[in-house]
């Protein structure tokens, strides 16, 4: 398939200008067969690379549009192949007519992500850089954009390459000893190897641990909104999202399933999860919703416990045993809602109800979701609770689940190397564990990745990229 010449519309509908990309061994000749430069006597195939040529697209004698054609010659193009880009008017009719002409003259419609896949296969970028292209297109905040740009520029790949080279040197010294096993010689200084293994372990561990931050930046910090029925959870979600996402009523148990949505607050993406109200019920569907509430609570990093300020004492007493143990390692914000219905003196008494809560990870705030009172202060508390660092394009933070899994497996392998050096196991076992670590690091860059993994990665790209 990589020998085919492919084409695809690379721009979204609705714009004034449209772009069609053509790539492959016959890209220039196929484009030239439907395009005539305005300057007579000079064919497209005779143009220099990195030039724009003005002319017209023809279907026989009929003019389809006046266009600009960009020309790139292998290997100096995005895909590493001969490529053209046709810029025409953004009419969907014109774009489809040009596409039909290209296919009629020998092109094939590109698969999702096929341009970037060809760039990877032709050595224009490694796999982690190719995956960053999709992240860059999907970036929705300054932080996600910076992380994607850093990875696409090869910052992550460079650090992995340095690790891989050190490990290759490590294992080559061990395997050299195996070649001279009968002479009982030692080429590798075990203390130096242990020092190197410790250094590599620290780098892999740092990269793996950065995933929690990277995942939060990329997919949003998960925030579970929990509490009894009719405490105002759905009202708060609607206020935070500034839209009527969840149904709100005075009837208990209105929300029976999990409702999720994301919003950017102060440059940080939060993924809010409105859950079913927690109460004793015989309703089968509502019970399933409550079960999902606890599942989402376990997945959240920040928990907003909505408490009806009018009935706060009974709600906290009834739910504390169910909620507090599940909030270990999370940031808990107790939100006393309907605070406009109580007096200031009562607020001091309500705060005393939290005296047995973990002080280092618990905060409280009084709001009225219905009246939108103190909701801005709650947003500030969420930003502080997220604890996300300021990200620059030089930061190396893991955001990809596939990379995270590979790093964890590499970490397990280097731990076996460290333990093997401590217990003085034979060189062949050390070499095997080191080779496994190299394998998983190389898998991130795509040096050992199989076709099934590649297909899974690129099928999620948009067509035209």
- Binding-site residues for GTP sit at 230-235, 249-255, 274-277, 337-340
pLDDT averaged over the chain?
Answer: 81
Confidence of residue 250 (pLDDT cuts 50, 70, 90): very low
User: pLDDT at residue 180 above 60?
Assistant: no
Q: Rounded distance, CA 10 to CA 79, Å? A: 14
Q: What pLDDT, on a 0 to 100 scale, did the predictor assign at position 288?
A: 62
- Binding-site residues for Mg(2+) sit at 234, 255
pLDDT: which is higher, 396 or 187: 396
Q: What pLDDT, on a 0 to 100 scale, did the predictor assign at position 86?
A: 97
pLDDT tens, residue by residue, 347-388: 878 887 887 788 777 888 888 888 888 888 989 988 888 877
- Binding-site residues for K(+) sit at 230, 249, 251, 254
361, two tokens: 């990870």
| Cα–chain center distance at 166 | 29
Q: What pLDDT, on a 0 to 100 scale, did the predictor assign at position 37?
A: 93
User: Domains (ranges, CATH) in the chain?
Assistant: 6-110 (3.30.1360.120), 142-213+400-459 (1.20.120.430), 220-386 (3.40.50.300)
Q: What pLDDT, on a 0 to 100 scale, did the predictor assign at position 253?
A: 42
User: pLDDT at residue 393 above 70?
Assistant: no
291 neighbors 318 (Cβ within 8 angstroms): no
- Binding-site residues for (6S)-5-formyl-5,6,7,8-tetrahydrofolate sit at 21, 85, 124, 465
Lowest mean pLDDT among 227-231, 251-255, 369-373, 451-455: 251-255
Q: What pLDDT, on a 0 to 100 scale, did the predictor assign at position 252?
A: 43
User: pLDDT at residue 453 above 70?
Assistant: no
Confidence of residue 84 (pLDDT cuts 50, 70, 90): very high
Q: What pLDDT, on a 0 to 100 scale, did the predictor assign at position 53?
A: 93
Closest of 70, 64, 98 to residue 82, by C-alpha: 70
- Mean pLDDT over residues 76-86, rounded? 95
25, two tokens: 């061994």
pLDDT: which is higher, 206 or 353: 206
Lowest mean pLDDT among 35-39, 102-106, 185-189, 296-300: 185-189
User: pLDDT at residue 313 above 70?
Assistant: yes
Confidence of residue 289 (pLDDT cuts 50, 70, 90): low
Of all residues in the chain, the percent with pLDDT exceeding 70 is: 86
User: pLDDT at residue 95 above 90?
Assistant: yes
Residue 249 burial (10 A CB sphere; 0-12, 13-18, 19+):
exposed
425, two tokens: 């196991």
SS3 279: coil
Q: Rounded distance, CA 188 to CA 176, Å? A: 9
Lowest mean pLDDT among 130-144, 182-196, 278-292: 278-292
User: pLDDT at residue 108 above 90?
Assistant: yes
150 neighbors 396 (Cβ within 8 angstroms): yes
User: pLDDT at residue 389 above 90?
Assistant: no
Lowest mean pLDDT among 10-24, 27-41, 104-118, 120-134: 120-134
Q: What pLDDT, on a 0 to 100 scale, did the predictor assign at position 58?
A: 94
In sign, the C-alpha dihedral spanning 425, 436, 400, 237 is: negative
The 8-class DSSP code of residue 449 comes to -
- Binding-site residues sit at 21, 85, 124, 230-235, 249-255, 274-277, 337-340, 465
Q: What pLDDT, on a 0 to 100 scale, did the predictor assign at position 255?
A: 44
User: pLDDT at residue 246 above 50?
Assistant: no
User: pLDDT at residue 38 above 60?
Assistant: yes
């Amino acid at each position: 398939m990589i020998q085919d010449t492919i084409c695809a519309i690379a721009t979204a509908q609705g714009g004034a200008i449209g772009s069609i990309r053509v790539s492959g061994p016959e890209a220039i000749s196929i484009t030239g067969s439907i395009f005539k430069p305005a300057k007579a006597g000079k064919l497209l195939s005779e143009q220099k690379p990195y030039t724009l040529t003005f002319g017209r697209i023809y279907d026989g004698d009929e003019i389809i549009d006046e266009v600009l054609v960009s020309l790139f010659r292998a290997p100096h193009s995005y895909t590493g192949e001969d490529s053209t880009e046709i810029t025409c008017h953004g009419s969907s009719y014109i774009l489809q007519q040009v596409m039909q002409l290209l296919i009629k003259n020998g092109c094939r419609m590109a698969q999702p992500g096929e341009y970037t896949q060809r760039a990877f296969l032709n050595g224009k970028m490694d796999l982690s850089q190719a995956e960053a292209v999709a992240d860059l297109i999907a970036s929705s905040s300054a932080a996600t954009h910076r992380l994607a740009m850093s990875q696409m520029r090869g910052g992550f790949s460079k650090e992995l390459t340095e690790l891989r080279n050190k490990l290759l040197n490590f294992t080559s010294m061990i395997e050299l000893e195996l070649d001279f096993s009968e002479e009982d010689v030692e080429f590798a200084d075990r203390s130096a190897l242990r020092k190197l293994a410790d250094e590599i372990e620290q780098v892999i561990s740092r990269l793996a641990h950065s995933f929690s931050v990277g995942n939060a930046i990329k997919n949003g910090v998960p925030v579970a909104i929990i509490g009894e029925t009719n405490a105002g959870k759905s009202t708060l979600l609607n206020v935070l999202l500034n839209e009527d996402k969840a149904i709100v009523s005075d009837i208990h148990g209105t929300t029976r399933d999990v409702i999720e949505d994301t919003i950017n607050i102060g440059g940080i993406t939060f993924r809010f999860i409105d859950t079913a109200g927690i109460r004793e019920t015989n309703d089968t569907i509502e019970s399933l919703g409550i079960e999902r509430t606890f599942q989402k609570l376990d997945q959240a990093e920040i928990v907003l416990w909505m408490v009806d300020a009018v009935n706060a004492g009974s709600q906290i007493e009834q739910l504390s045993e169910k909620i507090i143990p599940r909030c270990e390692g999370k940031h808990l914000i107790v939100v006393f809602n309907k605070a406009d219905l109580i007096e200031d003196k009562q607020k001091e008494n309500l705060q005393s109800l939290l005296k047995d809560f973990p002080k280092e990870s618990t905060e409280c705030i009084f709001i009225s979701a219905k009246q939108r009172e103190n909701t801005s202060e709650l947003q500030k508390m969420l930003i502080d609770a997220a604890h996300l660092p300021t990200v620059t394009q030089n930061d190396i933070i893991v955001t990809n689940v596939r990379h995270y899994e590979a790093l964890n497996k590499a970490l397990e392998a280097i731990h076996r190397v460290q333990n093997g050096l401590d217990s003085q196991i034979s060189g062949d076992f050390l070499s095997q564990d080191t080779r496994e670590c190299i394998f998983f690091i190389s898998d991130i860059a795509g040096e050992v990745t199989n076709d099934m993994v590649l297909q899974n990665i690129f099928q999620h790209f948009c067509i035209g990229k």
